Amino acid sequence: MIYKDMAKHYGFQVSPLIKYFLSLTHMPVCIMGFLGLMVLLAMPSPLSLSPGCTLQSQKEVGFKQDGDILIGGIIPVHINWLKPDKQITGQPDPCDTLDTMAYSWVQAMVFSINEINRDQTLLPNISLGFQIYDTCYLITRVLRGTAWMLTGQEKPILNYRCNSQTSLVAIIGECSSTFSISMARILGLYMYTQISYFSTSPVLSDKFQFPSFFRMLPSDDIQAQGLAQMVVRFGWEWVGLLSSPTDYGTLGSQILKVELLKLGVCIAFHETFPTVSKAKDLKLILKVVKGSSVKIILVFSSVSYLIPVVEELSRTNITGKVWITSDSWTSSSNLLKREYTDIMSGTLGFTVHEVEMPGFKDFLLKLHPSTSPHDIFIKPLWKEIFKCQWPDPENNLTNLTNMDVSTMIMCTGAEKLKEFNGKIPREFDMSTSYNVYNAVYSVAHGLHNMQSCVPGEGPFINHTCADIRNFKPWQLLHYMKKVRFVNKIGEEIYFDSKGDSPAVYDIVNWQPLSDGSIQAVKVGSFDARAPKGQELSINISAIQWNTQHAEVPRSVCSESCGPGYRKAAQQGQPLCCFDCIPCPEGEISNVVDSTICWQCASDQWPNERRSECVPKRIEYLSYQEVMGIILAVVAISFFIITAAILCVFIKYRDTPIAKANNRELSFLLLGALTLSFLCSLLFIGDPQQITCLLRQPAFGTIFVLCVACVLAKTIMVVIAFNATKPNSNLRGWVGPRVPIVTVSACTFIQVLICVTWLLICPPFPEKNMKLKTGIIIWQCNECSDVAFWCMLGYMGLLACVSFLVAFLARKLPDSFNEAKWITFSMLVFLSVWLSFIPGYLSTQGKNTVAVEVFGIISSSAGILICIFLPKCYIILLRPDMNTREQLLGKGTGNIKRRK
User: Contact 70/130 with Cβ under 8 angstroms?
Assistant: yes
Helix (H), strand (E) at residue 640: helix 626-651
Q: Cα–Cα distance between 30 and 388 in angstroms, integer?
A: 56
Residue 380 has pLDDT above 80, yes or no: yes
User: Contact 480/193 with Cβ under 8 angstroms?
Assistant: yes
Residue 639 has pLDDT above 50, yes or no: yes
Residue 558 to residues 178, 260, 562, 588, Cα–Cα distance (Å): 39, 17, 12, 21
Q: What angle in degrees, to the nearest 10, is found between the helix axes of 737-760 and 785-808?
A: 160
Cβ density class 678-689: b for 16+ within 10 Å, e for less:
bbbbbbbeebee
The whole model's pTM is what? 0.63
Q: Cα–Cα distance between 185 and 18 in angstroms, integer?
A: 13
What residue segments make up the domains of the chain, in order of their start?
220-326+337-356+503-542, 565-615, 626-898
Residues 265-300 pLDDT 10s? 889 889 888 876 666 777 888 888 888 888 888 988
User: Contact 828/859 with Cβ under 8 angstroms?
Assistant: yes
pLDDT category at 152 given cuts 50, 70, 90 is confident
User: Contact 347/322 with Cβ under 8 angstroms?
Assistant: yes
What share of the chain in percent tops pLDDT 90?
14
Residue 874 to residues 87, 710, 825, 883, Cα–Cα distance (Å): 131, 20, 18, 10
- Residue 314: the pLDDT is 76
User: Pick from 744, 745, 836: which is nearest to 788 by CA?
Assistant: 836
Q: If you write DSSP's letter for every residue of 65-88 in order, what string do you get?
A: E--SEEEEEEE--EESSS-GGGPP
Residues 798-818 pLDDT 10s? 888 888 887 777 666 554 556
Lowest mean pLDDT among 741-745, 766-770, 886-890: 886-890
- List 98's β-bridge partners, or say none: 78
Residue 761 has pLDDT above 60, yes or no: yes
| Higher-confidence position of 780 and 49 | 780
User: Contact 753/762 with Cβ under 8 angstroms?
Assistant: no
Query: In the predicted model, what is the mean pLDDT of residues 529-553?
Result: 84
Q: If you write DSSP's letter for every residue of 725-759 in order, what string do you get?
A: STT-GGGGG-SSHHHHHHHHHHHHHHHHHHHHHHH
Residues 561-580 pLDDT 10s? 889 999 898 888 888 888 99
- Residue 80: the pLDDT is 64
Residue 891 to residues 323, 439, 869, Cα–Cα distance (Å): 116, 140, 22
Q: What's the mean pLDDT when you consider all of the chain? A: 79
Residues 297-310 pLDDT 10s? 898 887 778 778 78
Q: Cα–Cα distance between 612 and 591 in angstroms, integer?
A: 10
296-300 and 238-243 beta bridge pairing: parallel
Residues 53-63 pLDDT 10s? 544 443 445 78
- Residue 57: the pLDDT is 41
- Residue 187: the pLDDT is 92
Residues 651-678 pLDDT 10s? 888 888 777 767 788 888 889 889 989 9
Sign of torsion, CA 510 512 513 515? positive
- Residue 582: the pLDDT is 92
Residues 825-876 pLDDT 10s? 888 888 888 887 787 778 888 888 888 888 888 888 888 888 888 888 888 8
- Residue 284: the pLDDT is 84
Residue 895 has pLDDT above 60, yes or no: no
What share of the chain in percent tops pLDDT 70?
81
Residues 433-487 pLDDT 10s? 899 999 999 999 999 999 988 888 888 888 888 888 888 889 999 999 999 999 9
- Residue 2: the pLDDT is 37
What's domain 626-898's superfamily in CATH?
Rhodopsin 7-helix transmembrane proteins (1.20.1070.10)
The residues, any chain, with a CB within 8 Å of residue 134's CB and separated by 6 or more, are: 62, 63, 75, 76, 77, 78, 95, 141, 145, 377
| Higher-confidence position of 717 and 500 | 500
Architecture of domain 220-326+337-356+503-542: 3-Layer(aba) Sandwich (3.40)
| Higher-confidence position of 770 and 324 | 324
